[in-house]
Amino acid sequence: MRHFVILVVCLCAFSITGTSLAQNVGASGNPLPRFVSMNATEANMRTGPGRQYPIMWVYKRKYLPLEVIDEKGPWRKVRDHEGSTGWIHLALLVGRRTAMMMGGTKSLFRSKDTNSQLAITAEEGVIGHIIECADDWCQLEIEGTKGWIERHHLWGVYSREVIN
């Protein structure tokens, strides 16, 4: 009986707020929001979902992490690390995960321990390919070198997201 009451309460809350269970899934069937990265050396961010809309920004960094927050046909509304939002064609994006160093120069370590051996040092803005993330740590590959960093130093991965 208790489970039935919880189900009824949840269904009522969804009907009252107008929220559906599919709210966190885009038209593509992929979750919203989610991180992707640029698969092009240059991409135009537009004010709307189409080539007829003005260009706001021209990104020139392959593998730049972007957060997809909406979808309309072949267009993805994205947010960058500075909070700018706009539309990019999906052909310029890829699901391979990357992350950007934030907050100054950071050390990446050989293991999940700040007392372990230094693997590489990366300046703010450096982008690495995510190998895995668990708990408070992510392992990245930067220019062929792998290292661990605490995830709060990164933009491009959610705080509780597991990647393996």
- Residue-wise pLDDT for 42-83, tens only, equals 999 999 999 999 999 999 999 999 999 999 999 999 999 999
Q: How confident is the model over 132-159, as pLDDT tens digits?
A: 999 999 999 999 999 999 999 999 999 9
CB of 116 closer than 8 Å to CB of 100: no
pTM > 0.85: yes or no: no
Structural domain total, the chain? 2
Is 132 found in the same domain as 147? yes
For position 107, what pLDDT does the model report?
Answer: 97
Range of the domain at 107: 99-155
Residues 61, 115, single domain; the answer is no
CA 126 to chain centre: 15
Q: Are residues 142 and 109 in the same domain?
A: yes
Runs of H (alpha helix) within the chain: 2-17
Q: Which CATH number belongs to the domain containing residue 124 in this structure?
A: 2.30.30.40
- Among 124, 121, 111, 164, smallest CA distance to 142 is for 121
